[in-house]
């Protein structure tokens, strides 16, 4: 979903109240999830009983992408939903009623799940050689494009000379082979699937940090304020899930394959997402600052402003 559409949907929904619920016993929540690993932590919590152990009765709602999940959170259709943290920050900084309720997937330079690649036989060797060329990103004007721009600028290129094209993850390899783009971002699991056709050129998220927050759970402010106990239980459940998932990647590979229909041989060999076990602000502040530097956000702000009370 385009950001302009997301904001329009959200603005129209500002008048929709979210009713308070009883704060004793098992508490109900509607949570949006996405069948990619950076978005599937809630599925792991559901399957392994972490929600139930925390006293939550969670209804999972599968969403097509994080933008749609954020719009549903803002409208009150969902209580919480997974999204790219820059999308959540974008809604917040524009005055829309959203909190960051819980951290989720963390990028690690040691096992990158997002890589800038070129065709295997490409003559390009340095970032400067991309000046004046087309570069593919999965989504325009978001954190991914900002990270590529920052990486290019840090490595001798001039990102203002480069044209960015929106290339779906699955189409990146073909776009490289036909010359439509000189380089393109590719994410797991496609990165593993096309590894024999492409060559790694750079790790753009490294320009933000060797570890950084990629996704988190946005939550409707009205719901959080009316349901503080449920919100706190959700935070506790996600921290427990993160600790378990980071220790049990063989099990999560099987779960992810079953959910997403990605072949098991891919989920067991690709670079894997890890999940944040604490709300470490150093994982988030550089994301906000970079997004503001490259105009994904209209301004920067202290990351803790985004936190729900249960995360502080």
* pLDDT above 50: residue 147: yes
- pLDDT tens digit sequence for 132-142: 999 999 999 99
Phi-psi region of 214 (alpha: psi -120 to 50; beta: other; left: phi over 0): alpha
Domain 3-107+211-311 in CATH 3.40.190.10: yes
Rounded average pLDDT over 119-139:
97
pTM for the complete prediction? 0.90
Position 163 confidence tier, pLDDT thresholds 50, 70, 90: very high
* pLDDT above 90: residue 1: no
Residue 5: predicted pLDDT = 44
Nearest CA to 231 out of 20, 41, 14 is that of: 20
Domain 114-207 in CATH 3.40.190.10: yes
- pLDDT tens digit sequence for 187-224: 999 999 999 999 999 999 999 999 999 999 999 999 99
Which has more pLDDT, 295 or 23? 295
Percent above pLDDT 90 for the chain: 91
Which has more pLDDT, 10 or 48? 48
Structure tokens at 135: 């570069």
- The mean of the pLDDT values for the chain is 93
**Residue extent(s) of CATH 3.40.190.10 domains in the chain:** 3-107+211-311, 114-207
Residue 24: predicted pLDDT = 62
Rounded average pLDDT over 221-242:
98
Count of Cβ atoms closer than 10 Å to residue 226 Cβ: 16
3-state secondary structure the chain: CCHHHHHHHHHHCCCCCCCCCCCCCCEEEEEEECCCHHHCHHHHHHHCCHHHHCCEEEEEEECCCHHHHHHHHHHCCCCEEEEEHHHHHHHHHCCCCEEEEEECEEEECCCCCEEEEEECCCCCCCHHHHCCCEEEECCCCCHHHHHHHHHHHHCCCCHHHCEEEECCHHHHHHHHHCCCCCEEEEECCHHHHCCCCEEEEECHHHHCCCEEECEEEEEEHHHHHHCHHHHHHHHHHHHHHHHHHHHCHHHHHHHHHHHHCCCHHHHCCCCCCEECCCCCHHHCHHHHHHHHHCCCCCCCCCHHHHECHHHC
Percent above pLDDT 70 for the chain: 92
* pLDDT above 50: residue 59: yes
Residue 55: predicted pLDDT = 98
* pLDDT above 50: residue 268: yes
Greatest alpha-carbon span in the chain: 63
């Amino acid at each position: 979903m385009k950001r302009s559409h997301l904001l329009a949907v959200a603005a129209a929904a500002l008048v929709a109240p979210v009713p308070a619920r009883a704060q004793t016993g098992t508490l109900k929540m509607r949570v949006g999830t996405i069948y990619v690993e950076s978005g599937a932590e809630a599925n792991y919590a559901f399957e392994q009983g972490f929600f139930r152990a925390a006293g939550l009765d969670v209804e999972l709602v599968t969403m097509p992408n994080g933008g749609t999940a954020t719009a549903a959170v803002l409208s009150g259709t969902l209580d919480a939903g997974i999204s790219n943290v820059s999308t959540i920050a974008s809604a917040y900084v524009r005055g829309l009623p959203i909190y960051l309720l819980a951290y989720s997937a963390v990028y690690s330079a040691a096992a990158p799940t997002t890589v800038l690649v070129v065709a295997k036989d490409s003559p390009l060797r340095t970032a400067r050689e991309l000046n004046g060329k087309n570069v593919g990103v999965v989504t325009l004007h978001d954190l991914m494009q900002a990270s590529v721009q920052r990486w290019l600028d840090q490595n001798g290129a001039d990102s203002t000379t480069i044209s960015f094209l929106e290339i779906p993850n699955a189409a990146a390899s073909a776009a490289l082979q036909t010359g439509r783009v000189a380089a393109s971002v590719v994410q797991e699991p496609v990165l593993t699937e096309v590894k024999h056709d492409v060559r790694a050129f750079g790790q753009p998220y490294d320009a933000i940090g060797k570890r950084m927050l990629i996704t988190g759970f946005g939550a409707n402010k009205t719901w959080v304020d009316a349901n503080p106990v449920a919100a706190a239980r959700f935070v506790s459940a996600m921290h427990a899930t993160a600790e378990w998932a980071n220790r049990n990647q063989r099990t999560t590979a099987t779960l992810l394959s079953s959910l997403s229909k990605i072949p098991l041989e891919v989920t067991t060999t690709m670079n894997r997402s890890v999940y944040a076990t604490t709300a470490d602000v150093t994982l988030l502040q550089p994301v906000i600052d970079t997004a503001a530097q490259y105009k994904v956000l209209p301004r920067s702000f202290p990351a803790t402003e985004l936190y729900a009370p249960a995360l502080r």
